[in-house]
Structure 1
Amino acid sequence: MSHPPVTLPRLTALVRQAIPRLLEGVVAPLAVFYGAMTLLDFKLALAAVVVWVYAGIGWRLLRGVRVPATMFLAAIAITARAAVAFWTGSWVWFFIQPELGTICISMAFLASVRLNKPLVQKLTLDYIHLPSAVLRHERVRRFFARITLLWAFVLLANSTVSIWLAVHESLGTFMLLRTSAVAVISGLAITFSIFAFKRLLHRLHVAHA
């Protein structure tokens, strides 16, 4: 079976596209929350991070810029999370909520592979641009299916560790150990994903040449 010609940007260019969006969508909300919790209090910190997420969406809509799917997911998740946290006033439930949601997302990742619509491909396209000819390539489809399976189990492992620590440890210990564990597990998965993607790009370039 023949495939259409493949033209891909360099991996460094793809990373440069992804970093600003990761900083805005992942790092910045955490910084806003922890900063507000340190300077103000728990409930005001929740309000601050909710405002941050919706402000980012509103700013894009006003400018006519496409809003990434991850931002809508984050807005829905943070709204539900903040509502329950305000009601309970418990840090345990505040941190467990997203982990329960992450478990559901991991199940959705598994289901997306079964449906031949791997979610990692959809999320990747929110951060970087890949030509349609590349997305139709058989090797690319297999790659996204396998990476989606990998991240389904990574998300499940991170959530399991986080919930156990939240139930059995103090807030300070939880934040330290949970951050370390998630960083190690996710870091290994990210490293493998980048290596595998780089290898895929190399093979596609070789095959096209």
Structure 2
Amino acid sequence: MRGGDVQELRMIVADVSSAPALRVAPDPPHVIDMPGWRPIVRHAATRMFLVTLLPMATFYVTLSLFGLRTAAVVTASLYYAALLSRVVRKKPVLAAGLLAAGLLSLRTVVVFCTGSAFLYFIQPVIGTLAVATLFAATAIAGRPVLDRLAHDFCAFPDELSTHLRQGRFFNRLSVVWAATYATNAVGTVWLLTNASLNGFILFKSVLGPTITVAAAAVSYLVFLMTVRGQNIAIRWAHHEPWRPAKTGPCTATSGRT
């Protein structure tokens, strides 16, 4: 090989080695259409008011005017009226709602027979701890019960649910809500043993929703991290009203954001 050819070959090799490496374009994210988060927040806030704040306010006012037994009966009647209104309007009544009605009936009977506010408020703690244990145990077993319960709030498309399972989203979600329920139970017991009845009702009505909102925010962050890890982009349709699960499933499309 002549000297000129060798020099030319060296120049070609140098050019190739100095050329930037070819970059493989990343796959476009899979886009999932979801209802806007603002309607979801409004829906959740309405539910929190009806389920937590309104019953506590009703109990407190009735307690101040008529006593413990009457307050328990009126609060239970309010819950039954809410369930009846859903039946009359032909709205679905979840099994959890019926279970809560049965437990509330038991609490009302106990307080009516004993007149003990401590027994009335300590009974839900047992159920709260049971739920926390259920969430944690099923997550450890690899079959989180929240995989099914989450679909009561939003009917995730099957493909999205598969990606969420691959990203262990429901396992992480179980840890978040198990800790939330355990904190709620411990806080309730502490308030019952250290605060007056009026003080307990006041602090419980504030701290309960605060803990729930904090857990919901953490759950949302875990959801975002999971979908990003699975190369999924969420497209929030803020113009759409809230649609309950199983009546307006989310839809999925492919493309770039």
TM range (shorter): 0.7 to 0.9
1:127 to 131, 146, 153: 153
Code of the aligned partner of 2:232: L
- Give the CA deviation at 1:126: 3.2
Any residues of structure 2 matched to 1:59-208 within 5 Å, and which?
A: 59-114=85-140, 116-138=142-164, 142-176=168-202, 178=204, 182=208, 185-200=211-226, 204-205=232-233
Cα contact 1:8–1:201 (8 A) shared by 2: no
- Give the CA deviation at 1:32: 2.3
- Give the CA deviation at 1:89: 0.7
2:57 is paired with a residue whose SS is helix
Instruction: Name stretches of at least 5 consecutive residues in structure 1 with no aligned partner.
Output: none
Structure with more relative contact order (C-alpha pairs < 8 Å, separation 6 or more)? 2
Cα contact 1:103–1:159 (8 A) shared by 2: yes
**Are the structure 2 counterparts of residues 112 and 56 from structure 1 closer, same or farther at C-alpha, using a change threshold of 3 Å?**
farther
| Matched residues, number | 207
Highest Rg: 1 or 2? 2
**Are the structure 2 counterparts of residues 117 and 36 from structure 1 closer, same or farther at C-alpha, using a change threshold of 3 Å?**
farther
- Aligned partners of 1:38 and 1:123: how far apart in 2? 37
- Give the CA deviation at 1:104: 1.2
Bigger shift: 175-184 or 124-133? 175-184
Larger strand fraction of residues: 2
Code of the aligned partner of 1:75: A
- Give the CA deviation at 1:102: 0.8
Cα contact 1:32–1:49 (8 A) shared by 2: yes
Q: Spell out, residue by residue over 1:2-50, the C-alpha distance to the aligned partner (whole angstroms, 9 max, x if none).
A: xx87332332233234333333233322222223222322111111111
**Are the structure 2 counterparts of residues 20 and 162 from structure 1 closer, same or farther at C-alpha, using a change threshold of 3 Å?**
closer
Cα contact 2:163–2:227 (8 A) shared by 1: no
Instruction: Name stretches of at least 5 consecutive residues in structure 2 with no aligned partner.
Output: 1-29, 235-253
- Give the CA deviation at 1:136: 2.7
- Aligned partners of 2:103 and 2:167: how far apart in 1? 29
Bigger shift: 112-121 or 82-91? 112-121
Cα contact 2:176–2:218 (8 A) shared by 1: no
Q: Spell out, residue by residue over 1:29-86, the C-alpha distance to the aligned partner (whole angstroms, 9 max, x if none).
A: 2222223222322111111111111222222222321113442232122112112111
Q: Spell out, residue by residue over 1:126-155, the C-alpha distance to the aligned partner (whole angstroms, 9 max, x if none).
A: 334433332232357622221112211221
2:53 is paired with a residue whose SS is helix
Q: Say whether 1:30 aligns with 2:56.
A: yes
- Aligned partners of 2:203 and 2:79: how far apart in 1? 26
**Are the structure 2 counterparts of residues 180 and 15 from structure 1 closer, same or farther at C-alpha, using a change threshold of 3 Å?**
closer
Q: Spell out, residue by residue over 1:101-121, the C-alpha distance to the aligned partner (whole angstroms, 9 max, x if none).
A: 211111121233245443444
What's the Cα RMSD here?
3.1
2:112 is paired with a residue whose SS is helix
